[in-house]
Amino acid sequence: MAALYDKVVKLSVKSITETNSGKLISLISADLFAIERGLGLCPIIIAAPFINMVAYGFLWSIIGFGYTMIVFGFWILVMIL
């Protein structure tokens, strides 16, 4: 948010008067949306390892350790790709 504020403050008077206000608002809202999208992913990134551990625990109890490791290997492969 501070970087966005700095970007708007550094605009010259000439550029503000020449630029359509709708275009300026859409550029700022696009930046805000990018920030908001990144902040929305933070809880998922923190929770993902715990969700995976619970899922692999269920898989281990249902199908066994060997198949659980195969599924884990596929997950690692997908993450690499």
Domain boundaries, the chain: 2-80
Residue 56: which residues within 8 A CB-CB, separation 6 or more?
68, 71, 72
Q: Give the C-alpha separation, 27 to 2, whole Å.
A: 15
Each residue's pLDDT tens digit, 52-78: 999 999 999 999 999 999 999 999 999
pLDDT band at 1, cuts 50/70/90?
low
Structure tokens at 53: 């551990």
